[in-house]
Structures are given as structure tokens and as C-alpha cells.
């Protein structure tokens, strides 16, 4: 092969090598751009998620924590919580003047979605006041009204009595409807009534109140059943896809 032919071959090889190198570099550049774009998208998603979480906490977010029975205020409990907790708290007494001694705990947290927490009033009475209060609780009912095609309908929901669900005999106003549990535990031996409302109870956080929880802890798991199918005196399904709830 002559010098001229060798030079032509070298030139061709050089051109081909340059083309391969350029193509490889272009491919690497595309991968780099794609990786940077993906990182950018992930960063934006992270920012959006952070703002969403902060927004839920900030918009309408509040927390109440009260532990003094002198600060018990049923009207305020209803006003602050009836909508999110779907309750008028009929189980609870209007005031504490008939209570001989007791303890009170309210710990609720409200965000843009709902209210979670507990309200517990542990009350001891003189015998006559105790019997009167048990009688009041046993007669609790709530009249729900619905208007359908111009016709007014009513449904009176009565409180339920149960002796096995809890560690004490219980009058139950709500049993899991929209995550709410409202009941009065009756301690006949001590003229004592424990008034309870849990909203979406966290069993780990409720360890200090385990004596007030259901005997069967597994029953708190909702599984595939809608919580709107659970019992409450404060709501009633008059028609398909039409449930009427309490108003204040």
C-alpha cells in the first residue's frame, strides 16, 4: 500500500473515530440532561409535598389540651368539635356542680381534614345524684330530620346499653361512626361515671386510658367496612346516598 493510500485510510479512521466519540458524547449528554431533569422533578414533588403537609397543619390547625375539671365547659366542647366529631356530646353532663370529685382530660388536635383526640370526664357522685345521672343517660335519644321530595321525615335514635363491650356496663351514643366513639361507663360500686369521647383513637397513645377502651381492641380496626355504617345516634341514612347528621 502506498503512502497516499495509507494517509487516506488514516484520515478515514480518524473521521470515523471522531464520529463515534461525538456520538458517544451526545449520548452521555442526553443521559446527563435526563438525570438532571429527573432530579429536578423529584425536588419539585418534594417541595409540593412539604407545602401540602405544612398547609394541612397551618390552615385551620389548632390543638386543645385541658386537664383541670374546673375548666370543663360543655358548650365550648360542642361549639369547637361538633362538626368534625359528628356529635352533640349528649352523654356528657351540662356542668360539674353535682360531681363530688373527678378528673377531666381534653386533648384534641384539629387540622384541615378532621379532629382527632379524646375527651374524658371521670366523675364521682353522691348516691342520689349518681342514680339521677344514670337515669338521664339511659333516656338519651336524638331526633334526626330529613326532607325528601317535599316530605319531612323523622328518625329517633336511642342510646344503646351494653354489658360486654367494655370493662364496665356502658351506654353508647356512638360506636365508630366516622372514627368517633362516645359512651358512658357505669361503675356502680363507686357511684362513678366515666364519660368518654374518642375521635380516631390511637391505641398506643391511649395506654393511660386502657381501662376505658373496648375489651376487644381488634374491633377498632375498620377493615373493609365503611365507618359510616357504624352505629351513632347522631346520624341516620334515610335514603340511599343520603345520610342526615346532627346539627348545632
**pLDDT of 226:** 64
**Minimum mean pLDDT among 18-22, 182-186, 216-220, 241-245: which range?**
18-22
Residue 182 domain boundaries: 62-245
Q: Is the pLDDT of residue 118 over 80?
A: yes
**CA–CA gap between residue 110 and residue 116 (Å, rounded):** 7
Q: Say if residue 49 is in the same domain as residue 124.
A: no
Q: Say if residue 67 is in the same domain as residue 135.
A: yes
Q: Say if residue 73 is in the same domain as residue 39.
A: no
Q: Please give the distance of CA 190 from its chain centroid, rounded to a whole number.
A: 33
Give the sheet arrangement for strand 115-124, strand by strand.
62-66, 101-110, 115-124, 192-199, 180-187, 170-177, 160-162
Q: Say if residue 198 is in the same domain as residue 155.
A: yes
DSSP state of 164: S
Q: Say if residue 48 is in the same domain as residue 68.
A: no
What is the tens place of the pLDDT at every residue in 47-79?
Answer: 554 444 434 443 444 456 777 899 999 999 999
Q: Say if residue 193 is in the same domain as residue 154.
A: yes
Q: Say if residue 171 is in the same domain as residue 147.
A: yes
Q: Say if residue 47 is in the same domain as residue 78.
A: no
- pTM for this structure? 0.73
Share of the chain above pLDDT 90, in %: 48
- CA-closest candidate to residue 118, choices 170, 67, 75, 69: 67
Residue 94's pLDDT band (cuts 50, 70, 90): very high
Q: Say if residue 100 is in the same domain as residue 141.
A: yes
Q: Say if residue 118 is in the same domain as residue 226.
A: yes
Contact call for residues 181 and 198 (beta carbons, < 8 A): yes
What is the tens place of the pLDDT at every residue in 173-226?
Answer: 999 998 999 999 999 999 999 999 999 988 888 888 999 999 999 888 865 556
Q: Total domain count for the chain?
A: 2
Q: Say if residue 16 is in the same domain as residue 108.
A: no
Amino acid at each position: 500500500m502506498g503512502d497516499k493510500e495509507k494517509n487516506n485510510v488514516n484520515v478515514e479512521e480518524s473521521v470515523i473515530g471522531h464520529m463515534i466519540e461525538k456520538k458517544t458524547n451526545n449520548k452521555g449528554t442526553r443521559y446527563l440532561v435526563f438525570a438532571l431533569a429527573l432530579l429536578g422533578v423529584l425536588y419539585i414533588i418534594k417541595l409540593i409535598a412539604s407545602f401540602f403537609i405544612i398547609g394541612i397543619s397551618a390552615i385551620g390547625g389548632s390543638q386543645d389540651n385541658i386537664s383541670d375539671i374546673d375548666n370543663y365547659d360543655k358548650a365550648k366542647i360542642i361549639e369547637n368539635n361538633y362538626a368534625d366529631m359528628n356529635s352533640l356530646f349528649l352523654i356528657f353532663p351540662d356542668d360539674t356542680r353535682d360531681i363530688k370529685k373527678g378528673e377531666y382530660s381534653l386533648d384534641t388536635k384539629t387540622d384541615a381534614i378532621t379532629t382527632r383526640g379524646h375527651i374524658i370526664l371521670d366523675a364521682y357522685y353522691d348516691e342520689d345524684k349518681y342514680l339521677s345521672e344514670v337515669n338521664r343517660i339511659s333516656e338519651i335519644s336524638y331526633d334526626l330530620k330529613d326532607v325528601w321530595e317535599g316530605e319531612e321525615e323523622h328518625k329517633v335514635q336511642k342510646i344503646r346499653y351494653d354489658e360486654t363491650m367494655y370493662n364496665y356496663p356502658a351506654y353508647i351514643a356512638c360506636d365508630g361512626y366516622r372514627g368517633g366513639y362516645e359512651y358512658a361507663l357505669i361503675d356502680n360500686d363507686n357511684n362513678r361515671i366515666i364519660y368518654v369521647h374518642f375521635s380516631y383513637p390511637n391505641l398506643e397513645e391511649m395506654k393511660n386510658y386502657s381501662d376505658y377502651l373496648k375489651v376487644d381492641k381488634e374491633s377498632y380496626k375498620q377493615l373493609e367496612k365503611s365507618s359510616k355504617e357504624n352505629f351513632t345516634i347522631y346520624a341516620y341514612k334515610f335514603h340511599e346516598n343520603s345520610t342526615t347528621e346532627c346539627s348545632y
